[in-house]
Amino acid sequence: MDRIETKDLAFYRLQSAKERLAVAEDLFKLEHHRDCLSKAYYSLFQAARAALATLGLDSRKHSGVISGFNINFVKTGIFPKEYRKIIASSQDLRLASDYDDFYLASKQDAEKTLKDVQMVIKGVEDYLNVYYADLQ
């Protein structure tokens, strides 16, 4: 895959992340905190896949995407270490929201997760804009 193709894929995935984030924000407003947390995680997941597209990388497994993002972008200092914690926390909350029968998602967890995910998506968007600047 060349840089032009990876650019299209990266920005497509970024748009997917933004759309899912918008749905998560709507769910938060409706006080559907469990579903908000789940959708926010998937938004973050798509943002990580967008960044990985710049390197021609992807994985069919969540663990592969997260590991690839952490190794190639957090560990290298492209993104702050805080992103690793945000991803881990978001994934934990998503798993609890989706699979724990008696999990009560709090408004505070949903609100914090949304703010964190917004920050990561903005960071990935800024990265993509700089990375692909010479192709525009």
Helices vs. strands in the chain: H and E counts, helices first: 5, 0
pLDDT at site 1: 58
CB neighbours (10 Å) of residue 88? 12
Q: What is the pTM of this model?
A: 0.94
pLDDT at site 100: 97
Q: Report which of 111, 131, 124 is spatially closest to residue 51, judged by C-alpha positions.
A: 124
Q: Would you place residue 134 in the very low, low, confident or very high pLDDT band (cuts 50, 70, 90)?
A: confident
Say how far apart CA 83 and CA 60 lie, in whole Å: 21
pLDDT digits (tens, 9 = 90+) for 30-78: 999 999 999 999 999 999 999 999 999 999 999 999 999 999 999 999 9
